Structure 1
Amino acid sequence: MAATTRTFARALRTSTRPALAAVPRAAFRQGGQRFNSSGPSSGSKINWLWASVGAAVVGGGAVYQFTPKETWTKLKKDGSTATFKDYQVVYNAIAKRLEEDDEYDDGSYAPVLLRLAWHASGTYDKETGTGGSNGATMRFNPESGHGANAGLNAARDFLEPIKEAYPWISYSDLWILGGVCAIQEMQGPIVPFRPGRSDRDMSACTPDGRLPDASQGQDHVRKIFYRMGFNDREIVALIGAHAVGRCHKTRSGYDGPWTFSPTVFTNDFFKLLLDEKWQWKKWDGPKQYEDKKTKSLMMLPGDMAIIEDKKFKEWVEKYAADNDLFFSDFSAAVSKLFELGVPFPQGSEDKKMTFTPTNA
């Protein structure tokens, strides 16, 4: 069964790609992605989000491209600075490992890599300026032991050989680059990447409870995301990362995937949320929904909140009807998420890197 799932997922990843993703990649070649799919262990609050052209769509459609002549103040072993080409090499190494090591959920580590990048970033608090991806503090207790981060050791361990092969890249940048690679290699949109994160020690660990609770409704969702500086449109776009991955009963208590193709990034999460009939699952686990037709898919209470709220539902309907719009908005929102709280050098805003997917 696992082999069949991996074969099907590979076929989808290599034979289909939404139009928005395909055009930018061709242009790039000519000119030169949850909610949490497996949240905390039983007894802890359940976190549900890990998951959010030419080079990439950012904000209001602006396009950025990084040229190899420009460098960053990241010293490598030989004393030189890392360039675009160096980061592309690391991207390719992650993608190669994703292709070769297919023994994880549904045949791919990509969803859990996205969740790692999401959780590393989603702790940001705009009022205090604490948290965010700068620091990679999930390497330490107590943050690594937070209920919302249960199971993310799989993603960190997956990336460790890459870190050993390219020691000049910080864990902070590597985890985010892993998330970018995961989105793109799952047929998702191009996501711009700007390096410059530095690793910090355990004193910078954030307190537990900063990530969304799956059992809560729209008021809680807004409270969490507004704290990071997102609006309703961006919130719904980021929640669309539930197109990939699954929940695990041994981690969050919840169980099952959101879509029928949990290793391919699409707008199916929104389509299924609107089109399927959902009912409470009768089982001994926490409250979750199952699709009435097959009983093989699941939705969390927090997922259902975005169609119960009129303002959220407006964007759910738009993204369900237009995959290109979803990809555009998700790319912008997840890029913003990945950069929260990072002290990038002045003047680097228009020097974001975009990488060519290996399956493009």
Structure 2
Amino acid sequence: MRFSPEGSHGANAGLKHARDFLEPVKAKFPWITYSDLWILAGVCAIQEMQGPTIPYRPGRTDKDAAACTPDGRLPDAAQGTKHLRDIFYRMGFNDQEIVALSGAHALGRCHTDRSGFDGPWTFSPTVLTNDYYTLLLNEKWHIRKWDGPQQFQDKTKGLMMLPADYALIQDKAMRPWVEKYAKDNDLFFKDFASVVTRLFELGVPFKPDTETMTFKPTNA
């Protein structure tokens, strides 16, 4: 993502802000690769936002612009579950794991000047909970009438869901997992920690003696 065109792919919209935020850290600790730094930042962010503990292993290498992937290999929020399966099955994830990863949408919000979408998914966008699932199931979602891309909003117009979110409760195989995580935050944390660890380590040729580390969050 450091290079064009990958850095400007639609699914990477707005991530420049996060990359720029980490540049002073990279400058202070030049020995860490960008790849390891970004993953480490993700691990720490999840834990600092009261999410589960995520194990971390260093060992990712940085590549040059020639290694940029073609566009279209990342999830498109405007599409449905067939698209999600096409993207994540290729990486070895199943329906349950797709739903668990989607729970990360409990965090943050969309910005019109980045993704084009607008608004937060939950009322507590800086705390990781299973609220994404409970809201997805319990709120009455309708298509927002506006000049932007299609998205859903609740009756208060304060929350939103993307087409790829709403599709989870319309899919017969995925909806049961939405229901399970809505009822059990501990189960969500357990499954989310497992699948996000796999995502963060996907394709990394770790050395056999690489130490796995865990960090104690400052709010513990």
Q: 1:276 and 1:163 mapped to 2: Cα distance?
A: 42
Q: Would you say the 8 A contact 2:9–2:71 is kept in 1?
A: yes
- Counterparts of residues 16-31 of structure 1 (less than 5 Å): none
Contact 2:109 2:119 in 1 (8 A): yes
The Cα shift of 1:147 comes to 2.1
Amino acid aligned to 2:103: G
| Counterpart residue number, 1:287 | 150
SS of equivalent to 2:174: helix
Query: Which of 89, 111, 114 is matched with 1:251 structurally?
Result: 114
Code of the aligned partner of 1:300:
L
Output the CA distance in 1 between the equivalents of 2:134 and 2:78.
22
TM normalised by structure 2 equals 0.97
Shift of 1:267: 0.4
> Is residue 324 from structure 1 mapped to residue 168 from structure 2 by the alignment?
no
- C-alpha deviation, 1:151, in angstroms: 1.5
Shift of 1:200: 1.0
| The one of 176, 197, 214 aligned to 2:39 | 176
2:88 paired with 1:228:
no
Specify the code of the residue in structure 2 equivalent to 1:270: Y
Partner in structure 2 of residue 146 of structure 1:
9
Unaligned runs of 5+ in 2: none
Distance in 1 between the 2:19 and 2:2 partners? 8
Q: 1:30-69, aligned counterparts within 5 Å? A: none
The amino acid across from 1:258 in the alignment is W
Give the C-alpha shift of residue 229 in structure 1: 0.6
CA offsets, 1:287-325, max 9 Å, x none?
A: 110002x11100011101110011101110000000000
Match runs of 1:75-224 below 5 Å = 138-224=1-87
The partner residue of 1:260 within 117, 123, 126 is 123
Preserved contact between residue 77 and residue 164 of structure 2 (Cα < 8 Å) = yes
What are the superposed Cα offsets for residues 253-277 of structure 1, whole Å, 9 maximum, x if unpaired? 2100000011111000000001111
Q: Give secondary structure in 1 for the equivalent of 2:173.
A: helix
Q: Secondary structure at the match of 2:167?
A: helix
Which of 299, 304, 318 is the matching residue for 2:166? 304
Question: Partner residue of 2:199?
Answer: 337
User: Aligned partner of 2:100: which letter?
Assistant: A
C-alpha distance in 2, partners of 1:254/1:150?
A: 11
- Aligned partners of 1:172, 1:300: CA distance in 2, in Å? 28
Deviations 1:66-87 (A, max 9, x none): xxxxxxxxxxxxxxxxxxxxxx
Deviation at 1:346, TM superposition (A): 2.5
Q: Give the Cα–Cα distance (whole angstroms) in 1 for the partners of residues 181 and 28 of structure 2.
A: 39
2:218 equivalent in structure 1: 358
Residue 116 of structure 1 corresponds to which residue in structure 2? Answer: none
Counterpart of 1:275 in structure 2 is 138
Cα contact 2:14–2:115 (8 A) shared by 1: no
**Which amino acid in the other structure matches residue 192 of structure 2?**
F
Separation (CA, whole Å) in 1 of partners of 2:38 and 2:116: 26
1:123-153 residue CA offsets vs partner (Å, 9 max, x unmatched): xxxxxxxxxxxxxxx1111111212222211
Alignment partners' CA distance in 2, 1:237 and 1:204: 29
Distance 1:334 1:199 in 2: 20
Tell me which stretches of 4 or more aligned residues in structure 1 moved more than 3 Å. none
Q: With structure 1 as the length reference, what TM-score do the two structures score?
A: 0.60
* Counterpart code for 1:191: I
Mark the structure with the bigger radius of gyration: 1
Structure 1 gaps of 5+ residues are: 1-137
Give the residue type in structure 2 aligned to 1:153: K
